[in-house]
Amino acid sequence: MKPDRIFEKAARSLAKRTSRRSLLASLGQLLTGAALLPLLPIDRTARAQSPSSPVAKPTADEQNCEYWKYCAIDGFLCACCGGTSTSCPPGTQSSPITWIGTCHNPGDGRDYIVSYNDCCGKVSCGDCFCDRNEGEKPMYRLSRNNDVNWCMANTESNYHCSVSVILGVAQK
Ligand code: ABN
């Protein structure tokens, strides 16, 4: 049988089995599903993973609280605690839930979305405390306040330090 004929037969059989209304309903469901996909919570822990290999040496910038990407951080800089600005120190685990900020990079003039994951499983690091919290709201607006131990969902909920991971360029 020719491909045209096969396609025609399949289309006719489908038309017999489905009404226009059910076809429109399925199409609507498909489009709604596709539109909601970007809103689903996504586990971004992979970007702030605990190191499997030796941690790279942190740069001076990464150990400086004024570094642009720390604009909304609240915690000890992991770059001063045996990790870097993006990787947790050995023996700690990154928190799957995080505080998200938007920071301006004066180097390229762009705004970036930054995730501040806490590294968990050891007592507080105690070095390079950095409390910038740009965009934070007072404690009475809990969902807008960064004074939170994001290790709360980890098996080991001790807070050690915080990393800052760039997730992407902020859209204007
Ligand atoms: N997100 C850092 C942190 C940890 C414990 C308590 C307050 C803030």
Mean pLDDT, 10 residues at a time, over the chain (172 residues)? 76 69 61 51 56 74 97 97 97 94 96 97 98 81 82 96 97 80
Q: For position 165, what pLDDT does the model report?
A: 97
Q: What is the pLDDT of residue 38?
A: 47
Strand partners, 113: 102, 168
- In this prediction, residue 11 carries a pLDDT of 73
- Residues with catalytic roles: 99, 118
C-alpha span between 125 and 82 (Å, rounded): 9
How far does the centroid of ligand 1 lie from the alpha carbon of residue 20, in Å? 55
Burial label for 99, CB within 10 Å (0-12, 13-18, 19+), is buried
pLDDT (0 to 100) of residue 37? 47
Mutate to test the pocket of ligand 1, among 115, 145, 148 (most ligand atoms within 8 A of CB): 148
Residues with Cβ within 8 Å of residue 89, at least 6 apart in sequence? 51, 55, 78, 81, 82, 83, 119, 122, 125, 160, 161
pLDDT at 20: 62
At 66 the pLDDT is: 98
Write down the pTM of the prediction: 0.70
Ligand 1 pocket test, pick from 65, 70, 73, 74 with the greatest ligand atom count within 8 Å of Cβ, gives 74
The response to whether residue 83 sits with its C-beta less than 6 Å from ligand 1 reads no
Separation of CA 29 and ligand 1 centre (Å): 41
